[in-house]
């Protein structure tokens, strides 16, 4: 069978994905794809299944259906192989080491890919001067927004080709959100694919090429920001 152009362009392909926690069906028959160079956002209310979706793509849950990254089924690959293959899952701030310094946490991001570490560290500090100012500071003493920057910065230290961001805007003051937005725009220029799961719809509409609206574990709508903004269902959901 020949490979179509669309298949070549599709970097991440989620097909008929279902995930349950015991009797709780968190995702049912979800289809999502991310094409070369795209930023895609998954939006939805609390409990919609957004975190379950990105956790599953990151290799943290068993699933029915298929998740292929660069043609490889995620379930058949180890987390370290996925990272080595350019997939980096940046969770809120859950995976930072509290007692390590900012710089130590950043350097951990390149443990599988040490080549170019110094250059990448400088790039991260250029993106987030706040982190450079705090490079020797213990991570546990950072503000929530600074931890978010550190989490994103650590993701970039792995020289990712595909970044998964779990709620990058959560709980951030407007000035920090602006820093994260600007960093995201710089990352988009590197032609890295990005999958964002977000509750902040304004943030998602601003940054995504395409969006999926998830509700009760199912995709209810998908499309470009323009097509979704004029969709009555989404309008109701967004609140006008
Ligand atoms: N470990 C778990 N055990 C049982 N049920 C779970 C577990 N984790 C999530 N769920 C349930 O799965 C559903 C989807 O949860 P999930 O956290 O993926 O949603 P979400 O869209 O990320 O929500 P939020 O924006 O509030 O984080 C919810 O009904 C939730 O209660």
Pairing outcome for strands 39-43 and 193-198: parallel
pLDDT digits (tens, 9 = 90+) for 49-84: 999 999 899 888 999 999 999 988 999 988 778 887
Q: How far apart are CA 195 and CA 34, in angstroms?
A: 8
Tokens of 89: 């899952």
Q: Which atom of ligand 1 is nearest to the CA of 22?
A: 4
Higher-scoring residue by pLDDT: 127, 191: 127
The predicted pLDDT at position 17 comes to 98
Q: Probe ligand 1: pick from 27, 44, 50, max atoms within 8 Å of CB? A: 50
Please give the helix or strand (H or E) that residue 220 lies within, else none: strand 218-223
pLDDT digits (tens, 9 = 90+) for 122-168: 999 998 999 999 999 999 999 888 888 898 898 888 888 999 988 88
Put simply, whether the predicted model's pTM sits higher than 0.95 gets the answer no
Percentage of the chain beyond pLDDT 70 is 91
Q: Within a 13 Å sphere around the CA of 70, how many CA atoms are in the beta-carbon half?
A: 11
Q: With cut-offs at 50, 70 and 90, classify the pLDDT of residue 1.
A: very low
Task: For residue 217, report the distance from its CA to the centre of ligand 1, in Å.
Answer: 9
Domain map (residue ranges) of the chain: 1-86+162-171+190-240, 94-160
Cβ-based neighbours of 198, under 8 Å, separated by 6 or more: 41, 42, 43, 50, 167, 168, 169, 204
CATH superfamily of 1-86+162-171+190-240: P-loop containing nucleotide triphosphate hydrolases (3.40.50.300)
Highest mean pLDDT among 3-7, 102-106, 157-161: 102-106
Among 18-27, 53-62, 128-137, 214-223, the minimum mean pLDDT is found in 53-62
Task: For residue 29, report the distance from its CA to the centre of ligand 1, in Å.
Answer: 16
């Amino acid at each position: 069978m020949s490979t179509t152009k669309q298949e070549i362009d599709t970097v991440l392909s989620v097909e008929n994905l279902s995930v349950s926690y015991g009797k709780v069906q968190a995702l049912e028959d979800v289809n999502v794809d991310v094409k070369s160079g795209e930023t895609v956002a998954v939006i939805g209310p609390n409990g919609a299944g957004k975190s379950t979706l990105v956790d599953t793509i990151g290799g943290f849950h068993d699933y029915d259906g298929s998740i292929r990254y660069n043609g490889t089924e995620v379930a058949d690959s180890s987390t370290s192989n996925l990272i080595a293959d350019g997939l980096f899952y940046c969770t809120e701030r859950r995976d930072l080491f509290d007692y390590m310094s900012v710089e130590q946490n950043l350097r951990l991001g390149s443990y599988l890919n040490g080549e170019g570490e110094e250059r990448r560290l400088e790039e991260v500090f250029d993106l987030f001067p706040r982190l450079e100012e705090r490079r020797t500071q213990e991570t546990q003493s950072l503000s929530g927004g600074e931890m978010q920057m550190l989490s994103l910065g650590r993701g970039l230290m792995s020289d990712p080709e595909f970044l998964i961001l779990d709620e990058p805007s959560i709980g951030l003051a407007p000035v920090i959100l602006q820093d994260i937005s600007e960093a995201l725009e710089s990352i988009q220029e590197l032609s890295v694919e990005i999958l964002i799961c977000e509750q902040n719809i304004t943030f998602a509409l601003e940054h995504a090429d395409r969006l999926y609206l998830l509700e009760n574990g199912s995709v209810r709508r998908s499309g470009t920001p323009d097509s979704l903004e004029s969709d009555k269902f989404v309008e109701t959901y967004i609140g006008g």
